[in-house]
Structure 1
Amino acid sequence: MSGEAVAALYLSDVRGRMRGVRTLGEGALAQLRDSEWHTPLAPDGNSAAVLVQHLAGNMHSRWGSLQEGYRAGTEGESAARNRDAEFEEGALNGAALLAVWAAGWRVFLDVLDHLSPDDLTRPLTIRGEIHTVLEAIQRQVAHYSGHVYQLILLVKTLRGQEWQTLSIPRGGSAAFNAAMLPPDGQG
């Protein structure tokens, strides 16, 4: 397989996986009550609102300047970003926070959709540190996934027994695996 084919495969995979991470986050956020958006699990912890604000702020900062395609000399930390404000509790309600969430993901996923295999080896600077576009994507895959799983833990803890699983339910692995097999039982 050629390097370009591997790069195209990577882009296809990361696009699908990050859409899946977004879907997981949305599945958790949909289970929040209006009164819980600003509830952290610990005194210095992040609420769902703060995590949403931070994720969206990061996505706009990192990827907003690449929405029209890759441009040499792009800085992945917007001068307009106020990162510290992302960690302050605001007064936005759940609907407004879901709009913030959607706008951030739209920027990130749109950029992923428009990157070419050749773009992956091009430079992207973040806070003065030079990365390849591939390295910048991987940095954000880990970052965004980590925060989405924080959201899931936060909401699962708040929901307790009312939590609706976002994956295979406990005790359901055998049935799930059986459903994944072709009808003739041959894998």
Structure 2
Amino acid sequence: MSDLGTAYLTDLRERMRGVKALGEGALDQLDDHEWHGVLGPEGNSAAVLVQHLSGNMHSRWGALRNGFTAGVEAETSGRHRDAEFEDGARTPGELRRRWEDGWAVFLDAVDHLRPEDLARELTIRGEAHSVLAALQRQVAHYSGHVYQLVFLAKTLRGAGWQTLSIPRARAAGDIQADMTGSDTKNDAP
């Protein structure tokens, strides 16, 4: 398990830092007023998504920030989850600090985990999980919300959106070049 555990934690660290960077790429494109924009009556703004992610990260991973501790309850009693979904009209600067603080807590916890910790038990809202299961739960949760941020920012920016991956026209040319062994865009007629 040690080699597999090491490989898993190494991959997790890299991937989650990539998820964080993706979210930052979306947030960077928002104008100040767009942080509080929603796409529908029950929609979440970027501000709300940032507040929720940060609250979850602090609650779930704060006790593990310096390494695994047996008997950890990964849901702090002082968390007010419902308040995370209320747009408190915080400034983009305040929201950025919450974003960074939340991710610092989560990534510090992951950085301090060891392969042997993955099979250990912690509880979330009284429900037992292996550390591995808790991590997988959060990977899905955090990635889902970051993709919501990307969708929201892309929709709000419209034509002003700058892609966070390979632009479509470039992707088609790259695929064609890979298939033929040459870059057809630069070939002479």
Task: Name the TM-score class by shorter chain.
Answer: over 0.9
Tell me the TM-score normalised to structure 1 length: 0.92
Aligned to 1:157: 155
Matched, 1:143 2:141: yes
Q: Specify the alignment match of 2:48 in structure 1.
A: 50
Q: How many residue pairs were aligned?
A: 181
Aligned residue identity for 1:18: M
- Tell me, in whole angstroms, the C-alpha distance in 2 between the residues paired with 1:57 and 1:99: 12
Distance 1:142 1:11, change over 3 A: same
Q: Is the 8 A contact 2:66 2:108 kept in 1?
A: no
Partner of 1:26: 24
Letter of the 1:21 counterpart? V
2:110 equivalent in structure 1 = 112
Counterpart code for 2:21? T
2: CA distance between counterparts of 1:179 and 1:14? 32
Does the aligned pair in 2 maintain the 1:168–1:176 contact within 8 Å?
Answer: no
Shift in Å, 1:89:
0.7
* TM norm structure 2: 0.91
- C-alpha separation in 2, matches of 1:177 and 1:119: 42
Between the aligned residues of both structures, percent identity stands at 63
What is the alpha-carbon distance in structure 2 between the residues aligned to residue 122 and residue 56 of structure 1? 25
Native 8 Å contact 1:38 1:89 kept in 2: yes
Is 1:89 matched up with 2:84? no
Q: Which runs of 4+ in 1 moved over 2 A?
A: 174-180
- Unmatched 5+ residue regions in structure 2? 179-189
- Say which one has the larger Rg: 2
- RMSD (CA atoms): 1.9
Instruction: Specify the code of the residue in structure 1 equivalent to 2:99.
Output: W
Please tell me the residue identity of whatever aligns with 1:13: D
Amino acid at match of 2:56: N
Q: Give how far 1:177 is off.
A: 5.9
Q: Residue 131 of structure 1: SS of its match in structure 2?
A: strand
Q: Structure 1 regions of 5+ residues with no counterpart?
A: 181-187
What is the Cα deviation at residue 69 of structure 1? 1.0
Q: Which residue of 2 aligns with 1:35?
A: 33
